[in-house]
Chain A
Amino acid sequence: MNMAQALNDALKSEMRKNGDIVVIGEDVARLGGVFRITDKLLDEFGADRVLDTPLSEAGIIGSAIGMSLYGLRPVAEIQFSDFVYPAFDQIVNELAKYRYRSGGQFSCPIVVRMPSGGGVKGGLCHSQSPESYFVHTAGLKVVMPSNPIDAKGLLIAALREQDPVVFFEPKSIYRTEKSDVSEGDYTVALGTARTVREGSEVTIVTYGAMVPLALRTAGRAASENISVEVVDVRTLLPLDIDHIVASVHKTNRVIVLHEAPRTCGYGAELAAEILERAFWSLDAPIVRVTGFDTPFPYALEDEYMPTESRLLQAIRAITRD
């Protein structure tokens, strides 16, 4: 099963169990979403639970908030994370703060799903990685899976949360990564990182579509006798910092890796958290391998994105005595 199928399977499985879950978004019903993540949900669950909306992201999130106050559990799809900004106000000022500002009288258990990231020749506005904006907003949990097994388990866990979850789906690996995904229902707890490759000389801390890239690069580094550990954070908030710190204590070197632009990117937060907790274990400065502080380019996409060669150079440099 690939990640797109695993996400679809998670939605089906949880919608069968929980009649309060409704799917809401643009083209999610008859079309099954432009990436087909909601494929055939309309057939099984009907038009009262799979809701096409007009083209209005603020309308999608705003009305999902109202539905959640009534007792429903909306799963809102934003067609591309690049189009979330009209709903940014609704997410940041309304969704994230509704529990807090009502003194806990209300909560909005909404999952906001968004395909994100580059690598699909989508240009400026079909390629962005806006996760940091949301991690910076109190009241949201932020998740990004890197493989089909985690995708299903994290999405089911998100659907059982009492708080809003922003769920980023790295679209470039929707169909490239395949795994044996269990048929039944299972969860991957939010706030748990995973070591996806053991190593001893440097830890790459990353998430989403950069995980398979890190694994491929770690394989190449191994052929140069450099031992690389790869940690997939899986949820950006809450962050499983203890897991990362344990890895740093072992390898004493860290590369943080993401597609999003460098300045104020999530890597900056990772680096700060690691420095506060494991400064004296470090043998070298933390290195960030990231997208550049430019808009996401169309023709030069491959140059913008972190690549195996850029990452390998960083690995070589940080492990050179």
Chain B
Amino acid sequence: MKEQSNIPTSKVERAGKFVTTGLKVGTNYIKHYTRKLMDPSTTKEELHQDNAADIYDTLSNLKGSALKVAQMLSMDKGMLPKAYTEKFAMSQYSAPPLSGPLVVNTFVKTLGKSPSQLFDQFDLQASNAASIGQVHKATKNGKKLAVKIQYPGVANSVKSDLRMVKPFAIRIVGMNEVDMDKYFDEIESKLLEETDYALELRRSMDLSRECAHIPNLKFPGYYPELSSDRIITMDWLDGQHLKEFLLTNPSQEVRDKIGQALWDFYQFQVHSLKQVHADPHPGNFLMRPDGTIGIFDFGCVKEIPEDFYENYFLLVDKEVLKDEKRRHQIYTNLEMIHPSDTPKEVEFFSGLFQHMIDLLTLPFTLDNFDFGNEVYFNEIYAYMDELYNMKEIRDSKVARGSRHSLYINRTYFGLYSILSDLKANVITGPARIQELMDARKTA
């Protein structure tokens, strides 16, 4: 991997980066319309590809939170034109690494010793780059370790980054600014949490202990004595990322096993622990041919407030939904319907949401669900597309959906999209959750 020669950190420099992108995107549009003049058959696809490439280049140069936002956007596949998604999906794996001396310096500063003093072997070349840090391979006492190191100044730049990425997010997602504020607050607070490695270490240890009883999950061991607020040391996990794993043509049985493990992992967290690993992008999972899955990176954990939990999961209950008044109440609680809405708008949006909810919660209502069912996902994407293009939604000036739903939706979205790539057949009925909770008690 080529080492990045410079990271723009000062605000002005970052702003400069965004301005250049803005200009480039502008030129891409001009190019597009000129091409279209010459050849009317030109599609928007190419334009989106050009734009995505330029925006991605900018974001990956900035690292940190901007990259994180790119990842968030890439999660909601349906929300974005396809070309953006593919380019952004790359950001889940690769961003250029930082220099060796800086890595050493981070160790000396936060742990008082250099990596060569702490480990038997330490690879100064990063083996993986994450959005706010990079991962190095190390060994100690014959054990392979993964050492995650945070880039300096990340926490400082979260705020200014978000402010600058906002116009792009608005442009891409097509939401209005008022809408975005509420969500950006949520994103900001989560991102700041992610830069706190001490918190992440604690959570990683807690959550992996709580979930240890779920079959086929593998969590790394953590080493607090080799970790600091900028460094986390854990066992090295073997396995492949989703895409490479699928290339090995795993059997249906293995896919089902992994799919089930993932489903159980998320359901147990949501329903029992009321906090969830809210970063289900493929880079955080390592799949193995024996049907087990390694899970790490608890940097982004969403705690689910009780009242939100209740309202959110009442939506799954068919009986409750039949009661018109109660349903309306739930929508209001979840801020999907705004007090200022006219009766006509209420009816319009209720209809939309109900259809979306019916679609998205389908797996919950069945005992078994085949995530390989493409018809189902195509229907979701088609519906998302329809929503995305709907004039009423784009013109709506109010925020719809509680801020908590952002990460919960994202979590389920990510989960669904991984399961769908796996084409896994999963036991999804409520009895399964109960089983897991009982198993925890006896464990």
The yes or no verdict on A and B being binding partners is no
Interface residues of B (CB under 8 A from A): none
Interface residues of A (CB under 8 A from B): none
